[in-house]
């Protein structure tokens, strides 16, 4: 974080922590091979999604101005996908749990910001979300919750 501040005069931790709410998760979807990097996602609930997107765009613009590069953003299936040209921010801020997510491609889904290493990973995540391939909608999840509520160990 110190090197980012020295190079960009930007306290990225302040910009990031200002919008993050009380939920975060590491999500790993089923990979096609042995590499999990493109199937790993950091997801943070935003206190205010509009402010979260503004702060992320602001970080991106500061970094891009300093590097003399264009700020990247694309729209896919109704969602903006942005990119912050900094590496290792999420593991530095939130620990080794996020060590597989070193790049900062991001989008918003409902009240959440989703980060990944590649825009293609974000696109796939959006597609799965739109298709409602959601864990809480599976029979396995419902059975697990019912088992927990009944005080049973799942699989007994």
Residue 155: inside a domain, yes or no?
no
Say whether pLDDT at 154 is over 80. no
Number of domains in the chain: 1
Which of 102, 39, 49 lies closest to 79 in space, CA to CA?
49
Which of 39, 40, 41, 22 lies closest to 111 in space, CA to CA?
22
pTM above 0.95, yes or no: no
Residue 156: inside a domain, yes or no?
no
Say whether pLDDT at 66 is over 80. yes
Looking at the chain, the whole-number percentage of residues with pLDDT higher than 70 is 88
What integer is the mean pLDDT of 79-93?
Answer: 96
Beta-carbon contacts of residue 131 (< 8 Å; ≥ 6 apart)? none
Q: In angstroms, rounded to a whole number, what is the distance separating the alpha carbons of residues 151 and 96?
A: 32
Residue 154: inside a domain, yes or no?
no
The pLDDT value given to residue 74: 95
The order of strands in the sheet holding 79-84 is 20-28, 40-46, 112-116, 104-109, 79-84, 73-76
Residue 126: inside a domain, yes or no?
yes
Looking at the chain, the whole-number percentage of residues with pLDDT higher than 90 is 65
What integer is the mean pLDDT of 32-38?
Answer: 67
Say whether pLDDT at 153 is over 80. no
Say whether pLDDT at 133 is over 70. no
Residue 32: inside a domain, yes or no?
yes
Say whether pLDDT at 152 is over 80. no
Task: Tell me the residue range of the domain where 135 lies.
Answer: 2-149
Say whether pLDDT at 14 is over 70. yes
Residue 40: inside a domain, yes or no?
yes
Q: Is 110 helix (H, G, I), strand (E, B) or coil?
A: coil
pLDDT bucket at 33, cuts 50 / 70 / 90: low
Say whether pLDDT at 128 is over 70. yes
């Amino acid at each position: 974080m110190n090197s980012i501040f020295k190079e960009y005069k930007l306290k990225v931790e302040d910009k990031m922590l200002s919008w993050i709410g009380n939920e975060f998760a590491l999500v790993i979807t089923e990979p096609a091979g042995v590499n999990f990097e493109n199937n790993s996602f950091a997801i943070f609930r935003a206190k205010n999604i509009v402010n979260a997107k503004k702060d992320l765009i602001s970080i991106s613009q500061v970094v891009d101005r300093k590097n003399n590069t264009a700020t990247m953003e694309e729209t896919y299936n109704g969602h903006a996908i942005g990119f912050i040209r900094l590496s290792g921010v999420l593991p530095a801020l939130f620990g080794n749990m996020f060590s597989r997510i070193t790049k900062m491609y991001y989008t918003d889904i409902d009240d959440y910001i989703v980060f990944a290493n590649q825009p293609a990973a974000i696109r796939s995540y959006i597609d799965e979300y739109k298709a409602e391939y959601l864990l809480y909608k599976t029979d396995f999840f419902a059975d697990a919750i019912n088992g927990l509520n009944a005080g049973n160990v799942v699989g007994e």
